[in-house]
Amino acid sequence: MKIIKATDKKAAESFLAKLEKRARGGNEAVVRTVSGILEDVRRRGDRALKKYTLRFDGHEKTTLSAAEIEKIAAKAEPSLVKALKFSANRVRAFHKRQVQRSWFFEERGIKLGQIIRPLERVGVYVPGGKASYPSSVLMNVIPAQVAGVREVALVVPAPGLAFNPAVMAAVRMLGVKEVYPVGGAQAVAALAYGTESIRRVDKITGPGNIYVATAKRLVFGEVDIDMIAGPSEILVIADSSAPPSFVAADLLSQAEHDELASAILVTDSAELAAQVQKELKMQLGRLSRSGIAKVSLARFGAVFLVEDMKEAAGIANTIAPEHLEVMTKNPEDLLKEIRNAGAVFLGRWSPEPLGDYAAGPNHTLPTGGTARFSSPLGVYDFLKHTSYLRFSREGFERIASQVEEVAGAEGLSAHKNAVSIRRKGF
C-alpha cells in the first residue's frame, strides 16, 4: 500500500482519480455483448435463455422443483444452517423497524396522504459462480418479505449444475418457491422481460459481475433496480490508539474480495501506518485468497497521513466509501463530521464482517462514491408510494383561484379550465 501525505495534493488527487475511474467500470465491448444478450432473450424467450445458459454454464436447465431445492439444501452443514438462522433472525428484526405505513391528514374539506404498498413481484440475483454467498439471499429476500412482497423469483447461476448447499439452505429457510438455475445478463433479461418459464418482475436486486451490473443498468426503466454495485470498499480512520493488527485485518477483509477492491487507511499517526504495513505482510501469508488481496492492495490500497481527524473525515466524505470504520479513542466524536458512507462501524470491536453477516443492517451498500446520494438496501426499496387527494366543494374553493392563477401563467388553458368549469357551478 502506498503512503500518501494529505498535503501532497497531486498524489492525493491522482489516487482519487484512479478510484473514480475504477468505480465507473464497464467498457463498450461489455455493453455491446450485454445489449445483444438482452435483445435476444427479449425476442426469443426461453430459447435464448437456454442457449446462453448452455454456453456459459454447461446446461439448459431453467427451473428447480421444491424437491430439488430440498435435496440440495439438505447437504448443508447443520452448524452453518444454525448460523444462517441466527443471522436471518437479526436481519429480519432490524428491517422490521423500517416498515412504513400509509398516512393521511385532514384540513377543512381536504384529505391528503400517501398510500404505501409493497411491490407485487421482485427478482433477486444471487451469485453462484466463483463467488456464492448465502448471505446475499438473506440480505435481499428478507427486506422484500418484511415489506410484504408476495412473489420473489430468485436466479442463481449453477455452472455444471453444481449448487452451493448453503445458498439453497437459505432459500429453503426463507420459503422462496421460485428458484431458477440461470445467471449472467441472460438471467437479468429473463427477469426484466419475462420468458416462458420466468415471469417478469417489477424490480431486480442483488450483486453480480460486470455483465450482470451492466445488464441491470440497461434494463432500468423496464423494471426498477436496487443499485449498480461496484467493487468492494473499506476506509478505516484510525488514530494511535487503534491496534495495528485489527486495522490490517479489517483492510484485508475487503481486499480479498477481488482485484478491484479498495482498502484505505486514513490516520494521523505515522507510527500506526508503519505498523499496519508490517501487519498486512504478516497476515497476507495466512489468507486463502492472498493473491487477490495482494493485487487489490497494490492497485487500490493506500494510507493517507493527515494532520488531524477533521481532515480524515474530509477525505472520507470525498471518497464516500461503502464501508467506513472509525477506530479512534472516541469514535462517536467523529461521527458528526461524517456525511458520506454506506455503513459506519464505530470502535475497535465493530469490524466490517459483522455487518456482512449477523449484525442486522443490510450489507447491500452503495459503492463507487454513490453513498453521497444513495442508501443501503432496505424495506423502503420494496415499497411504492401513491399520493392520495380528496376534496370536498369547500376544500376545492379554498385553493381553486390559486390553481387558476398558476395554470394561466404557465399557458395551460385546459388545466385552468378544469378548475374554472367547476367554479361556474356545475
- Which tens digits make up the pLDDT trace of 213-254? 999 999 999 999 999 888 999 999 999 999 999 999 999 999
For the residues 25-35, what does the mean pLDDT come to? 87
pLDDT on residue 130: 58
Question: Residues 95, 257, 323, 363: which is the catalytic one?
Answer: 323
DSSP at 151: E
Q: Has residue 158 got a pLDDT over 80?
A: yes
Q: For 89-113, what is each residue's pLDDT tens digit? A: 999 999 999 999 999 999 999 999 9
Answer yes or no: 322 catalytic.
yes
Domain residues of the chain, as ranges? Answer: 2-25+230-360, 28-225, 392-423
pLDDT on residue 302: 95
pLDDT on residue 198: 98
Whole-number percent of the chain with pLDDT over 70? 99
The whole-angstrom separation of Cα 170 and Cα 206 is 15
Q: For 391-411, what is each residue's pLDDT tens digit? A: 999 999 999 999 999 999 999
pLDDT on residue 230: 86
Answer yes or no: 95 catalytic.
no
Q: Give the neighbor-by-neighbor strand order of the sheet with 203-205.
A: 178-180, 151-155, 121-125, 203-205, 224-225
Q: How far is CA 59 from CA 47, 49, 50, 54, 162, in A?
A: 13, 11, 8, 4, 10
User: DSSP per residue over 397-408, as a string?
Assistant: HHHHHHHHHHHH
**21 band by pLDDT with thresholds 50, 70 and 90:** confident
In a 10 Å sphere around its CB, with 0-12 CB exposed, 13-18 middle and 19+ buried, how is residue 351 labelled?
buried
Q: Has residue 20 got a pLDDT over 90?
A: no
pLDDT on residue 53: 97
CATH 3.40.50.720 fits domain 2-25+230-360: no
Range of weakest confidence among 79-88, 261-270, 341-350, 417-426: 417-426
Amino acid letter at 360?
G
Element containing residue 146 per DSSP (H, E): helix 134-147
Q: Has residue 129 got a pLDDT over 70?
A: no
Element containing residue 263 per DSSP (H, E): strand 262-267
Beta strands in 109-229 (DSSP E): 110-118, 121-125, 151-155, 178-180, 203-205, 224-225
pLDDT on residue 25: 63
- In terms of phi and psi (left: phi > 0; alpha: psi -120 to 50; beta: otherwise), the region of 148 is left
Contact 165, 402 (CB under 8 A): no
Q: For 169-179, what is each residue's pLDDT tens digit? A: 999 999 999 99
pLDDT on residue 23: 72
Candidates 1.20.5.1300, 1.10.274.10, 3.40.50.2000, 3.30.70.1560; CATH matching 392-423: 1.20.5.1300
Sign of the CA dihedral with 201 first, then 202, 205, and 208 last: positive
Domain at 28-225: CATH architecture: 3-Layer(aba) Sandwich (3.40)
Q: Has residue 297 got a pLDDT over 90?
A: yes
Range of weakest confidence among 24-33, 101-110, 335-344: 24-33
Q: Has residue 345 got a pLDDT over 90?
A: yes
pLDDT on residue 316: 97
The whole-angstrom separation of Cα 220 and Cα 287 is 38
Domain 28-225 in the same topology as domain 2-25+230-360: yes
**305 band by pLDDT with thresholds 50, 70 and 90:** very high
Q: How far is CA 241 from CA 3, 253, 346, in A?
A: 20, 21, 14
Sign of the CA dihedral with 317 first, then 319, 321, and 326 last: negative
Question: Residues 178, 279, 322, 352: which is the catalytic one?
Answer: 322
Q: Has residue 42 got a pLDDT over 80?
A: yes
Q: For 60-69, what is each residue's pLDDT tens digit? A: 999 999 999 9
For the residues 29-51, what does the mean pLDDT come to? 97
Q: Has residue 426 got a pLDDT over 70?
A: no
